Structure 1
Amino acid sequence: MLKKFSSLLPKFNFYNILGVLLVLACSPSIDRTPYKELRELAFETEYDDIGIQNPNGKTVVYGIIMDWPTQREIVTLATFLSGDASLFLTSGASFIGGGGRESIKKSSVRLIHKYAYLWKQGKKVRWTPNPDLDQVRFFFLTTQGTYYLEDTVSEIDSDTSTLTPIFDEAQAVISEIRIEAEKEKDDDDE
């Protein structure tokens, strides 16, 4: 194996090797940040974990999670009926909990109340797929399992997707999180 590999090296010039190394070094890695674990924890949240009573067989959407690929990284927004909302980025940045802040709580609950009905249009998942670089995905955590809907980033950006309204509402939650994060940062600076 080593002989095969070393015989390939002379065929690559310095710039080919440098290019490959740059791509490997500069690509965001979800393995070096808490992103993967935080995302998994969000998906593992059960309705009773957030204080929702047993719905006696009725399907209740208690959380909506959005995976949104941006130009540089994946952004995952996790919102729950309790008002909790968290934001995880593959770069490692995160904002966890949010429900203690009234503006975030209202925005998170509004998102779920307004778009919970979409779970019926979704596909049921047995396991959670990894984020996709071309698809915006919405996962609906229900008392009967997890369902998801997806569309391309370009369709959502061009306002031709049926998911554009829920995407816009999710952006409102992200905006509230950013405002609160800035307030925290300003308080820490003082």
Structure 2
Amino acid sequence: MKYIIIGIVAIIAIGFFISRTVKTNKASAEQVQLPGKTPQQNPYMEMRNMAFSTKAEQLGLPNIADDKVYGLITEMAMNPGSATVISFLTGDTSLYLSSGGGFIGAGQHEEVRQMLAQKVDRFQNYLSKARKIDEPSLPEEGTVNFNFLTKNGIYSVTQNMTDLESGKSEFSDLFKEVNEIITQIRLKSNG
């Protein structure tokens, strides 16, 4: 678990560094930058809202069952701010940091796409433990929100970070899987 925390801290540090750097680095996973936005404007909430509003049809998945999980949006409270990990059944994945940084495009690598599609497919096992929500909220300090996207709507569950890390939560395995996704995003963002 120590390495998971170190990995998350490293990602936040990288995101902070990238969000403060004017120099553009065109790596295989690109820094989040919305068209028409200046580097001083933070795209986090807009990118987060776009992820939550993504429909199965937009991903090319029009024929999946209404209760099939086609995406998982995991949000972790980080002191300060938060990190949002987007994972879709299609293999697309991104990481957004509330500091304004982040990475998109790691899913363009075939090995990441395959790994991610398998993981999102297994996320279905957790759907029955989540409750349907109208509006996703940011995680409170010390918590992680797991948000499952289906055609029927968004289902969410909030877990204590300490319980997830220690293995005391029934969602600890899911938390490990999300951290594996973060690791792949980080590795692919370094070229």
Task: Report % sequence identity.
Answer: 29
> Which of the pair has more CA radius of gyration?
1
Distance in 2 (alpha carbons) for counterparts of 1:140 and 1:46: 12
Any conservation in 2 of the 1:87–1:95 contact (CA below 8 Å)? yes
TM-score normalised over the length of structure 1: 0.75
SS in 2 for 1:99: helix
- Relative distance call for 1:127 and 1:180 in structure 2 (3 A) is same
For 1:119, the aligned partner's letter is: L
**1:60 maps onto 2:105 in alignment:** no
User: 1:148 maps to which residue?
Assistant: 156
From 59, 83, 101, give the equivalent of 1:93: 101
From 112, 118, 125, give the equivalent of 1:117: 125
User: 2:19 maps to which residue?
Assistant: none
Gapped regions of structure 2 (runs ≥ 5): 1-39
User: 1:26 maps to which residue?
Assistant: none
Distance in 2 (alpha carbons) for counterparts of 1:45 and 1:97: 16
Taking only aligned residues, the RMSD between alpha carbons, in angstroms, comes to 1.7
Offset at residue 129 of structure 1 (A)? 1.4
CA offset digits 1:140-175 (Å, max 9, x no partner): 000111001111111112211111100100011110
Distance in 2 (alpha carbons) for counterparts of 1:132 and 1:111: 25
Distance in 1 (alpha carbons) for counterparts of 2:96 and 2:106: 12
User: 1:167 maps to which residue?
Assistant: 175
Distance in 1 (alpha carbons) for counterparts of 2:112 and 2:98: 22
Gapped regions of structure 1 (runs ≥ 5): 1-30, 184-190
Matched residues, number:
152
